[in-house]
Amino acid sequence: MSFPEYNHDKSRELFNRAKKVIPSGVYGHLGPAEGLFIPVEKWPLFSERAEGTYFWDVDGNKYIDYMCAYGPNVLGYNDPDVDAAAMAQLKLGNCTSSPGKIMVECAEMLVDTVASADWCYFAKNGNDTTQMAIMTARAYTHRKKIIFFKGYYHGVSPWQAKIDYAGVLPEEVQNNIVIPWDDIPALQKAVAENKGEIAAIIAQPYDHGNFHDNVVMTKMFWEKVRKICDEEGIQLIIDDVRAGFRLDIAGSDHFFGFKADLICFCKALANGYNMSALMGREHLKNTISGMNITGSYWLSSVPFAACIATVKKMKELQIPQMFDMLGSKLINGLKMAGKEHGFDLVTSGMPALFYLRIANDDSLYLHQEWIAECVSRGVFFASHHNHFINAALTEEDINRTIEIAEDAFKAVKKNHPEMN
């Protein structure tokens, strides 16, 4: 089958207006500046509306969306149950002088759901939770140093930046130790060389970083990390902002068979309503209680109502099993389509958060071209980021995705006669 290429004139027009009044037009991961949209002409830059697994751009083009707002879309855009719960709460009150009682109900539900959680501290963004986690670990241990795994991303605060980032002082990152993933001897060495000085290890549940194949850790790896933390009094922080609830409703630490001391959630928590939550173990509750951290909208009620409805529905739908099944079906179909046209499509990470790479050339140009050809025919991917499944995705959508992907493979091959 062949699919016509989309036109993005209105996106371009809007981007030109945006650039005049918004630094870099669309900043951060939703925009082109991070190098995920190459060649940029093939991507829409603004959306008009969204529904279920689709969004429509300002030129009226429809996309099957595998970025899911980079994670928050877990049940489908505008999920009717979540929106009804949020709207009912909106009528009662949202941003009020005393928090709504729904805050307590939401915390109780999350503590019952997440295996390692004895308490729950609400915020807005993933970065708020990783920042609070580090502060809590430092306050509890009276230590400064933090161990990170290579390729980490935990948000944008200065303490987690790389030394050459604009506006970051060397002092802000001087207590950071970065070691490779899945290298217990390197971890043991770092701990021995900094004995009694390490407050925390912060890590995603597996290496789901950008610009490289994703690597899933073994349960044995995490068992060893947990043991080292217990022996050395190091707090183990799991950053489940991206993977949270997609692998296991009880938390990704539960999926890998261990308990974090602190666990950070955001994206899938409320199906796009703006909230995040740091959860933790009992021994850290007094410490965080004594800290001065909050924000104007952190205790707003509408997202709590959305969160309760989202988690309830994620449990009913058995989201992790569903995403594993849908993700596996999709990646198998894509790989087979690639093979048929001479492309070696490598898939990595968990099927619920699959990462794609065409391995025919090391430069990644072929890969970027193929992703761009998919996007300009209605399958919204990003070149060097993991993708996301949502519950509104159907087998029919997956079949259409594979057909579009095939057409995109053909288009790339046509542009590369050396492949024939």
In the complex, what is the shortest distance from the CB of residue 394 to ligand PLP, in angstroms, rounded to a whole number? Answer: 26
Residue 191 or residue 241: which is nearer to ligand PLP going by CB? 241
271 interacts with ligand PLP by CB under 6 A: no
DSSP summary character for residue 170: H
303 interacts with ligand PLP by CB under 6 A: no
Distance CA 365, CA 312 (A): 43
Residue 266 or residue 389: which is nearer to ligand PLP going by CB? 266
154 interacts with ligand PLP by CB under 6 A: yes
**Which tokens sit at 251?**
């938390």
Distance CA 380, CA 373 (A): 10
Segment interacting with ligand PLP, rule: CB under 6 A, options 152-160, 185-193, 362-370, 388-396:
152-160
Query: In 3-state terms, what secondary structure has residue 235?
Result: strand
125 interacts with ligand PLP by CB under 6 A: yes
Residue 32 or residue 333: which is nearer to ligand PLP going by CB? 32
Query: In 3-state terms, what secondary structure has residue 327?
Result: helix
127 interacts with ligand PLP by CB under 6 A: yes
Give the sign of the dihedral formed by CA 222, CA 224, CA 228, CA 230. positive
Asked if the peptide bond before residue 417 counts as cis, ω within 30 degrees of 0, the response is: no
Segment interacting with ligand PLP, rule: CB under 6 A, options 103-111, 235-243, 305-313, 353-361:
235-243
In the complex, what is the shortest distance from the CB of residue 97 to ligand PLP, in angstroms, rounded to a whole number? Answer: 26
239 interacts with ligand PLP by CB under 6 A: yes
Neighbouring residues of 310: CB distance < 8 A, sequence distance ≥ 6: 74, 75, 79, 82, 268, 269, 270, 271
Query: In 3-state terms, what secondary structure has residue 65?
Result: strand
Strand 276-280 to 119-123 pairing: antiparallel
Packing angle, helices 365-375 and 395-415, rounded to 10: 130
155 interacts with ligand PLP by CB under 6 A: yes
Residue 277 or residue 299: which is nearer to ligand PLP going by CB? 277
Strand partners, 123: 276
Segment interacting with ligand PLP, rule: CB under 6 A, options 174-182, 236-244, 249-257, 405-413:
236-244
126 interacts with ligand PLP by CB under 6 A: yes
Number of residues that bind ligand PLP (CB under 6 A): 13
Phi then psi for 398, rounded to 5 degrees?
A: -65, -45
Residue 67 or residue 241: which is nearer to ligand PLP going by CB? 241
Strand partners, 178: 148
Binds ligand PLP by CB under 6 A, chosen from 119, 153, 211, 365: 153
Let me know: does 16 contact 22? Beta carbons within 8 Å: no
Q: Which residues bind ligand PLP (CB under 6 A)?
A: 70, 125-127, 130, 153-155, 204, 239, 241-242, 266
